[in-house]
Chains A and B, each alone.
Chain A
């Protein structure tokens, strides 16, 4: 179910990649609250492990996962709205 939806997203966004995607992503990240933003950046862009993120931000691992979920979901919503405005 998740895979299907991810795949359909890939098709609709087929043209948005590289530099353009990076700019859209940066703008979207700026709209997240700092807590969510830094968690998403450390995990998805800097590729740190949950344990490492919890050490860097000095919060429990459960908090890291929870923030990551909220941050990613919020980012997904922002990106979807952005596409709608294109």
Chain B
């Protein structure tokens, strides 16, 4: 095994998902290669630190990229773009914290990913019903039972945004003439402008 092989296998090794002969081969290489051993140590330290850290906000550019993927990329066949724009376009204004936007984006994204494998129907407003989101969350927790706590927490964020979305949707008709400045789409058009 050489250093290039390590670069590919190390991620799984640090994750603890590498199996078979590859593990001993990689360990043998690490024992004799200071550079790779340092890479492995730094990598393991970072992972250990992240496991202890609380849920972290995703950077705005990642949210943008995911939204681009689901509206313009290959997932477009699975997700109906009009619904994405209608449901998310308004809410991705600065009034929405990147953290909440991320939760929403991940909900849609998981639909896109699941849909690609199972050919489920398109995402509909009913799927964003908090109860359904919550039920789906429970399924995911079982699937990722060993990392359940963190996943559960991030989905709780999704639940919160769903609830807020619903509240805002109900308030919209009554506030047509008295909208707050931050809700005017023309003032700030990119969520990237809001970092915290």
Contacts and interface: CB of A to CB of B under 8 A. Distances in A.
Contacts, number: 141
Given A38-B62, A56-B66, A72-B14, A46 B154 contact: yes
Counting chain B residues whose Cβ lies within 8 A of the other chain, the interface size class is 35 or more
Contacts of B48: 6, 9-10
A10 B59 CA distance: 27
Contacts of A26: 56-57
B43 A38 contact: no
Nearest to B106: A46
Q: At the interface, is chain B mostly helix, strand, loop or mixed?
A: helix
Contacts of A9: 44-45, 48-49
A52 to B, nearest CB: 5
Interface stretch (B119-127, B143-151, B167-175, B182-190): B143-151
Interface of B: 7-14, 27, 30-31, 37-50, 52-59, 61-62, 65-66, 69, 73-75, 106, 109, 113, 116, 144, 147, 150-151, 154
Contact of B109 (A40, A56, A68): A56
